[in-house]
Structure formats: C-alpha cells, structure tokens
A = this chain, B = another copy of it.
Amino acid sequence: MAKSEVNVGLLGWGTVGTSVSKILLNHQEQIFQNSGVRLNLTKVVKRTLPAHREGVNLPENCLTTNPAEVIENPQIDIIVELIGGIDQAYQLIIQAIRNGKHVVTANKALLAERGIELFQLADKHGVGLGFEASTAGGIPIIKALTDSFPGNQIQAVYGIVNGTCNYILTQMHEQMTSFEIALSAAQEKGYAESDPTLDIEGIDAAHKLAILSSLAYNVYLPFERIHVEGITQITDREIQYAQEFGYVIKLLAITKKTASGIEARVHPTLIPEKSILANVSDAFNAVCVVGDAVGPTLFYGRGAGGMPTASAVVADIVEAGRSASTGVVNSLPKGWIANELVQGVVSSIAEVETRYYLHLIVRDRPGVLAQIGKVLGQCDIGIAAVIQKDSHGADTVSLVIITHQALEKNMIQARQLINQLEIVSGDSILIRIEELDFAST
C-alpha cells in the first residue's frame, strides 16, 4: 500500500513558492535520503504567464494558470497553498480536501479566520493540513507545540512573531530614528509591504497568536478574542525613555494560562534590555514555550523570507508525503476540530496583571507628582520609578512613571482620572511591561 513517490502541486509561485520549487527540484535526492519520501513537483499554478524564475528549471508542462489542473488532478497527492488572501485560498483548499488531497499552507490569516472549518473538513476526509510555515517562518514552533510537549501543561507561550515590527523597532532603538523613517527603511528592504497595516497594527502577530494559543491549550481560540495593539503609537521618545529605565520595546504576542482563563494579547511591551528577546534583532523571530515539566524553552530563527519559510513548507510536505504513503495523519489540532474552549474562558484584557510604563505631559509646577501619585494610590497602583524630562516649550514637561504590578482595569480607571486632572495636557502613552526572567520560570 505504501507509495514510493508522491506528487506535489504548488498554488502560487511568488517568493515562497519559488523557494519551495527550488528546494523540491534541487534537493529531491537529499530529501529522499533524509526522509524516505520521494517528492515530485508535478504542477505549479501561477496567475499569469509567461513566468521565469532565476535558478529554477520547472519540468515540461509543469506551469499552468489553471488551479483545477492541480485541485482536480487525480495524480497529485499534496497541494501547497501559497497564494495568500482568504477567499480564493479557502475555496481551493476545501475543494482539494474533498478530493482527498493532503494540504500544506503558510496562510496564517486564513487559519486564524477560518481554520476551524478547514481542520474539521480535513479530519472528516482523513487528510493532513500542515501549517508549520504559518507562524514563525523557518522556526519549527508548530511541530514543537504539537509533538514535543504532550506531557506538559503549557503555562505560557510568548515571543516576537512579526519580523516587520521587529525590524522597525530595532531600527528605532539602534539608529534612534522615528517610526516613519524606520518604516520606510523596512519597506526599502522588503520587510514591509507598501500597505503595512496588517503588520504594524499587530494583526499579523494576532493571527499567529491565535494559532499558537490554540495549540498550546488544545482549544479553538478565535482570533477576535485576542487583544491587539500595534506599534504606531511608539515614538522615538518612548524608545529613549524606555532605555533610560533599562528596557527595550518589542511587539510581543503573549498567551498565558491563569486561574481565570487564557490570556491572549498582542501589544508593544517594555522588556529588560538583558533579556534574550530584547536581543532578537531585525526580522528574526523567537518564541518561548513554558511547560510545567520542561520549564522554559526558546525557539529562535528567521521569521520570514523565501528560503526560511520554504524550509518549513518542505518539512510539512515531507510529513504529508508520509501520510500519503502510510495513510496515517497525526497532525490535526484536536482543540480546533472539537471546537472547544478549555473552561470556556478567554480572559478579558481588564483582568491582566502586569507592570506599566505611563508617559504623561503635565504642567511644570510644584505638587504635580503628588496629585498623580494620589490617583494611582487610590486605584491600588504603586509607583516603582519616575523620570521627569525636559520642557516641551510652554510650561509642560514629560513625566514618565514605571508602576509596580497592577490590574489592568485599575490602570484604565487611573488613566481616565489622571486625564481629567487640570495639570495634565494631551494624550498619555501607556505601555505594558513584562520582566521575562527566562531562567527562573
């Protein structure tokens, strides 16, 4: 019954698709040596022809503009969806699953928004749906969560999962440039799209967190339940003040299991400059998984780019190839298929307890700090450190406060009260702090 060879069809031939085709064609023998699976690249679908890619010689009749030549082709065992977007990708994948084909995708938006239907359909039809490349480029974090910690209760998963934001924030820290200049640099380098909204607003990171969180807690955690803040409010002034307190600002995706449920949040975060994540630069990604048995673990590598992402796609194709040979599918996430929330609870952001960085513009006069300290105290929030900075002209100054651990709902209330004070002018900036003491978790 075991098939000696499996046939692969690619949907999409952009950056990642080109890299996948390179690996499948150039490393076919090595993949067979490594895995015992012989992968034939049979069809590549591209929207428009002609097409040529440097260094890739596709077999004759391989390239087509018609997805049906892959989806409806009885000779093809595995389809690899790399076209991106949601609606068309969804339609093609469900048709492929119904036709009994194993599926590999790097499409985090699709999984975060409609993954539950796809996984349920794959389960019904007994096919695999691999998605290693969806979450942190070449880092095998999906495999780690699905296969490596079955004896653990996962306590937290957190990390840097968006290379665009990390590149921008690294530039702002290292060059002390503004957000706008750093964004332009990211666009020039190809790390940011011409419309960067999905990345800089934290939506891409939240798509990935929906996947990580669902795997960590064996649940289906809907994307809409994630609290999301992007990095557009982070100015070079915030970066500089954070540094003065010994912190670096990173966009973190965080999920934790607490007594009251599952926290899932994406937001800019102050982390200690000596922590490992603070030193994850440019477009690199890094994800920490904390389990009750294993303790803290970290997975670190390139989070984007054609070849790193293709590395993950090919690992999934090999696994799908094994499934095609043996008829055994292991990898479908059971929490999604069962459509269950563990304990039914995703915590509200108001229940989060953390430390805060609060930047206020206040009038430069005596007694200001006392007034603000009084409001914070009334809301059960202690002050750990304060810096008062240079005049903004007129008679205002920046007052930057680091708080002790506090409940978010108390902080929200305090901020509203503080904003009403006559001595406070303009908007305040509030950023959460995580101490991330890796070795002691």
User: Chain A interface (Cβ within 8 Å of chain B)?
Assistant: 19, 23-24, 27, 30-31, 33-37, 132, 138-140, 143-144, 147-153, 218, 276, 279, 281-282, 284, 286, 291-302, 305, 307-308, 310-312, 314-315, 318-319, 322, 326, 328, 330, 334, 439
Contacts and interface: CB of A to CB of B under 8 A. Distances in A.
B297 A297 contact: no
Contacts of A152: 27, 311
A34 B294 contact: no
Nearest to A31: B150
Contacts of A132: 148
Contact of A297 (B281, B299, B310): B299
Choose among A297, A318, A319 the residue with the greatest number of B CB atoms under 10 Å from its CB.
A297
- The prevalent SS among residues of A at the interface is mixed
Contacts of A27: 151-153
Contacts of A36: 334
B281 A279 contact: no
Nearest to A24: B151
11 contacts: A34-B150, A143-B143, A143-B144, A147-B315, A151-B318, A152-B311, A291-B311, A292-B307, A297-B299, A297-B302, A298-B298
Contact of A295 (B19, B144, B302): B302
Given A23-B293, A298-B301, A308-B295, A148 B153 contact: no
A279 B276 contact: yes
A312 B151 CA distance: 8
Contacts of A312: 148, 294
Given A138-B295, A294-B308, A298-B299, 4 more contacts: A139-B297, A149-B315, A293-B307, A297-B299
A296 B307 contact: no
A315 B148 CA distance: 5
A34 B217 CA distance: 9
B147 A311 contact: no
A295 B314 contact: no
Given A293-B308, A295-B308, A298-B300, A33 B334 contact: yes
Contact of A138 (B37, B294, B300): B294
Contacts of A314: 150-151, 293
A282 B439 contact: yes
Contacts of A439: 281-282, 284
A384 B322 CA distance: 52
A144 B300 CA distance: 12
Given A276-B279, A322-B330, A439-B281, A151 B294 contact: no
Choose among A34, A284, A298, A439 the residue with the greatest number of B CB atoms under 10 Å from its CB.
A34
